[in-house]
Amino acid sequence: MKTRIITFVMAFFMSVYAVAATAQQLTLPQISDYLNQLQTAQGGFTQINGDGTLSTGQIYIKRPGRIRFEYNPPEESLVVASGGQLAIFDPRSNAGPDRYPLNQTPLNIILQRNVNLSAARMVTGTVSDGTTTTVTAQDPENPQYGNIQMVFTANPIELRQWIITDDMGNETTLILNDLQSGGQIGDIMFNINAEMRRRGFE
């Protein structure tokens, strides 16, 4: 009888845990709505590079299509996306920034005007541990550009980190620190040409 009671109690708590875990799992429409409502945001970040080194800095987001990463010393690099371009400024270089089409990077998935993670072949994996929901997404028309693995928490829904795998298979993890949504961010923060002029490249 005692064994039967213990088994029943364990089964009960396991079922409660399973319901709680299920309740925390976010759906793709919920995450899409969250990203579409995220017009502006800013905060700090810690980046884990492919070689295991760490970088820190500040991030600014202004959807659609704009993002800015300011790296703290010693890197002091700057990455800006705007006007369909992604520009990487290296303070050690005397040349202008390296530029890439934004739509050929996984960042484009979360910066596009209308995020629809339910689109065919957009999401390649969804995992929930009861606290976070992790979604792996790619450009369904160009999977060779790599993918982005995004980690969200619920109640309220918040983007906490992402892992970008580029077209060469290199992984970069970005952990967001106190990302605050809303507020005004000037367009000049994302103006690549203005940044080039400021640095004397034009």
Structural domain span for residue 107: 27-198
pLDDT above 90 covers what percent of the chain? 79
Among 91, 43, 34, which residue's Cα sits nearest to residue 67? 43
Judge whether 129 lies within some domain.
yes
Other Cβ atoms closer than 10 A to 186 = 9
Q: Is position 14 within any domain?
A: no
For residue 184, give both structure tokens.
């005004």
Any domain includes 54: yes
Which pLDDT belongs to residue 119? 94
Give the mean model confidence (pLDDT) for residues 8-21: 37
* pLDDT band of 3, cuts 50, 70, 90: very low
CA distances 108 to 59, 112, 148, Å, are: 16, 6, 10
- For residue 130, the model assigns a pLDDT of 87
Q: Is residue 61 part of a domain?
A: yes
Is 187 domain-assigned? yes
Residue 11 lies in a domain: no
Q: How confident is the model at residue 149 (pLDDT cuts 50, 70, 90)?
A: very high
Q: What is the pLDDT of residue 105?
A: 95
Q: How far apart are CA 178 and CA 160, in angstroms?
A: 9
What is the model's pLDDT at position 156? 92
Number of domains comprising the chain: 1
CB-neighbour burial class of residue 80 (10 A; exposed 0-12, middle 13-18, buried 19+)? buried
Per-residue pLDDT, 135: 98
The reported pLDDT for the residue numbered 52 is 92
Confirm whether 3 is domain-assigned: no
Q: What is the CATH number of the domain that holds 50?
A: 2.50.20.10
